[in-house]
Amino acid sequence: MNAPDKLIALTEAGAPRAAGQSKFHESARAQVAGAATYIDDIPEVRGTLHAAPVCSPVAHGLLRGVDASAALAVPGVRAVIAADDIPGDTTLAAFAHDEPVFALDTVQFIGQVVALVVADDVMTARRAARLVKLNIEERPAVLSVHEAHALESYVLPPVHVQRGDAKTALKRAPHQLEGQFEVGGQEHFYLEGQVAYVLPLEQNQWWVYTSTQHPGEVQHWVSHALGLANHAVTVECRRMGGGFGGKETQAGHLAVWAAIAANKLRCPVKLRLDRDDDFMITGKRHPFAYHYRVGFDDTGLLCGLALEMLVNCGFSADLSGPVADRAIFHADNAYFLEDVAVHSYRCKTNTQSHTAFRGFGGPQGVIVIERILGDIARTLGLDPLDVRLRNLYGIKERNVTHYQMTVEDNILDPLINTLAITSGYRERREQIEAFNAQSPVIKKGLALTPVKFGISFTATLFNQAGALVHVYTDGSVQVNHGGTEMGQGLNTKVAQIVADELGVPFEKVLATASDTSKVPNASATAASSGTDLNGRAAQFAARQVRQNLAAFVAGLDGVGAGAVRFEGGQVITDKSTRRFEDVVGAAYANRIQLWSDGFYRTPKIHYDKTTLTGRPFYYFAYGAAVSEVAIDTLTGESRVLKVDILHDVGHSINPAIDIGQIEGGFIQGMGWLTTEQLVWKEQEPPELTQASAPPRGTIFSWGGPAKKLPGHLLTHAPSTYKIPATGDVPAHFKVELWPEANREDNVHGSKAVGEPPFMLAISVYEALRDAVAQAGGDALRVNAPATAEEVLRALN
C-alpha cells in the first residue's frame, strides 16, 4: 500500500496543504463512538407514527381488491394507506412515468407495494401489514430476459451502435469465436437500509429526512405526489450508511410513501424497511445476458465484433436506459474496436425494477470484452496479457472509441506494463503452470485486467453543481454543497479543498448536511463525480470569499490583490502578516461579504443521445489488477490468494480515502463475480403449473403463501445471500497509486475513484476461468457469479 504521508503537498512557503494529505474521514470519530446520526437516530417528534408496506406475493396479476379489516382491528393501527389517498399524481415522477406510487389495478412483481399500514410503533405496523388480504387474479409472469426478448417485452426501445462493417469484417477474419454467457445482478446491501422520516410543517410545508443520494429528486417526487410546488418540500440528508447507487432513485419511493401517509394523518410518519422487505422491494444491479461473434487474427488482434446485450430491467424503466447506454460505452473497455455492432435490448420482466449500482452498467460492459479476449488467448494458445496488450487503444492512432470520442489521456500501456513488472506477472504465470502440473486437486489461475472508465454523467445536464461557503467572524468556515455523504469521504475532500483555498487549517472547516433549501436542483451523488462537481463548486465559492478578503487587505497594505497570500492560517503580504481570524473580524467591521456561492459545470462534454455519439466523458480513469486464485476441483470452491493493484486517481486529494475506495470497490466487485448470487424462483413446468395453480381471484397476504410462487426472490437475507466477509480478503492485497496528475483541468489534478476500481475485480473472474481451463475444464461455461456450483459445472 502507498504510504499516504509521502504524498503531503506543501504551499510555496512550505506550509502543509490539506489536499494531498490523508486526513481522517470527517465523521470517523463519531462513527466509531456511535455518535454519528443516521435517519433512524433522529429523535422522533411527539406523535410520530410508523409505517410498514403491504406487498404483492404474486409476480403478475390483476388486483381485484384489498381487505384491510383484520389489520385495522389490531390495537395501535391508525390507518391503511393506498392509492386513493394520494393527493397528487398516482404515478411517480420518474422520467419514464411508468411506475405507480402504489399498485393500482395490476401487480407486476413479488414485493410491489400495494398499501401501507400505519401504527403507533414499527412492530405493530409490520405485523398488521401481514394481515392485509389481497384479491389477485394471477396472470402469466415473464421472469427471464430470453423470454422477454422473444416476446419483445421492453421497458424502453432497443438501441444499436455500430462502427464500420462488423458483418463483413467477421467473414474476412482468419479466426472466429461465438459464445454466450450471463452475468447476475447484485444486492446493494448497504448497512443502513432504506428509510424516510417525514414531518408536516406549517402552511402545508414538509420536511423530509431521507437516506438518499439525490435529495433534489426526492423533493421533486414528494411534491409531485402531494400536488405541491417543489419549494414546499425540504429534503435533508446528513449522511447515509452506504448507498452504492441503491439510493439514487429508490430512496424516493420511501419518502413518497411516508409523505402520503403523513399528509393523510397530519402527523409525522417514519418508514424504515427491514432487511427482508428491503431485498424484496428494491431493485438490484441489472443482470445481463450476452451473445457475441468475434473475429481475430493469429496474434489475437480483434478484426470484428457483433455483440448482443439483453438487459434485465425489471418491471419499469427506472435508470435502465442510461445504465444500458453506459454498458454500450464500456463494451470496449481498454481496447480499440474497429468494426463493431452492439445491440442493446432493455427487457421488461416481472421482477424488482433494477437500478443504479456502482459502475452503473460499466462493469456489465467491461466484463464481456475481457471475457472475449481471454477466450481468444486460450484458442490461440497465447498469454491473455499479450492479447490484451495487442488490442489496447493507441496514442495517435487507433484512439477513437466506437461512440466517436477520442481517447486523449491514454496511460494504459505504461500502467499495465508497470504492474506486470512490479507484480511479477510473467514469473508467477510460469510458477503457477509448474504448480498445477504437480497438484492433482488444487489448481491455480492468474489474470491481469485493466479498466478505462469514463467520468461524467452521460446525461450532460446533470454535470453541474453548486455550493455555499460561509466564513464566520471567529475565522471558522462552513461549507454546504449539493452532494451527499455515504461514507465515501466526499465531505472530507470538500473540506480539504475549501481549507486550501482559504489557507486555513482543515480543522477550521465544517461540511454540513445536504439540504435542498440551501443548494437547489443538485444532481445525484453518482457517476463517481461527487468531488469533481461539488469540490470544484465549493472551491469557486471559497475563492470568491478569498478574493473579497484579498481586496480588503490589499487596500490596507497598499499592494495588489494578487500579492496577498493565504496559507497556514495567516494572510500574508510583503508588508504584514495577520491571522486569518483577525482579517475576517476586520473585514466584517468594514462590511465585507464573508460568504459566497459557487457554481461549476463540466466543460468539453457533449453527447447525442439518439446516436450515442459524442464526448460524454470529461476524462477517463485507468487502472489494472493482477489476481491469483485457487480452485478445488472436487468441490468447485475457490479462494483469492493475491491481488496487486495499480490505479490512477490523478493527484490524490486524500490518499487514505482513495486507497480505501479502491480496496472496497475491488472487494465489492469480487463479491458480484464470486458469491453474490440472486436467485428468483423459476416458472414450474406447465403440467405442474396447471395442477398447482391457485384459482382465479385468489386471496393472498404478504405473510404468505407458505409455498413461494414463481418470481419470488429466494435469496432475500444474509442467510442465503453471501457478500464477502473479512475472511475473503486476500492475505496479499497491495494497492499502489499511479503518480501522474489528471491531464484535464480537474480540481487539484485529481480523478474520480468511487466506481472504476470495482471493475478491477474482473481480474478475479478471469483468473477463475484460467484455473478452470488449466484444470481441463471448459472456461466458456463459467457464468458470473462464479460460485462453487458454477465452477464445478464447468469442470465437469
As to burial, measured by CB atoms within 10 angstroms (0-12 exposed, 13-18 middle, 19+ buried), residue 476 is middle
Contact yes or no for 316/349 (Cβ under 8 A) = no
The three cell numbers of residue 313 are 430491467
Q: Which of 370, 485, 676, 755 is catalytic?
A: 755
d(CA 52, CA 382): 57
Does 705 sit behind a cis peptide bond, omega within 30 degrees of 0 on the bond before it? yes
The C-alpha cell 400536488 sits at 227
Q: Where are the alpha helices (DSSP H) in 622-761?
A: 655-674, 686-692
Q: Do residues 346 and 155 touch, judged by C-beta distance below 8 A?
A: yes
Burial bucket for residue 728 (CB in 10 Å: 0-12, 13-18, 19+): middle
Pairing of strands 638-647, 732-737: parallel
- Residue 317's identity, in one-letter code, is A
Three-class SS of residue 635? coil
HSE-CB for 451 with a 13 A CA cutoff: 35
Which residues pair with residue 626 across a beta bridge? 448, 644
Phi and psi, residue 148, nearest 5°:
-60, -45
R_g (Cα) of the chain, nearest Å: 28
What pairing do the DSSP bridges indicate for beta strands 732-737 and 159-163?
unpaired
* Residue 755 falls in the annotated catalytic set: yes
The overall longest dimension of the chain from CA atoms, in Å, is 94
C-alpha cell at 655: 490518499
DSSP code, position 15: P
Tell me the C-alpha distance between 10 and 25, whole Å.
Answer: 21
Residue 606 to residue 614: CA distance in whole angstroms = 6
**Pair 646, 668: CB distance under 8 Å:** no
Residue 256 CA to residue 794 CA, distance in Å, equals 46
Which residue numbers are catalytic?
755
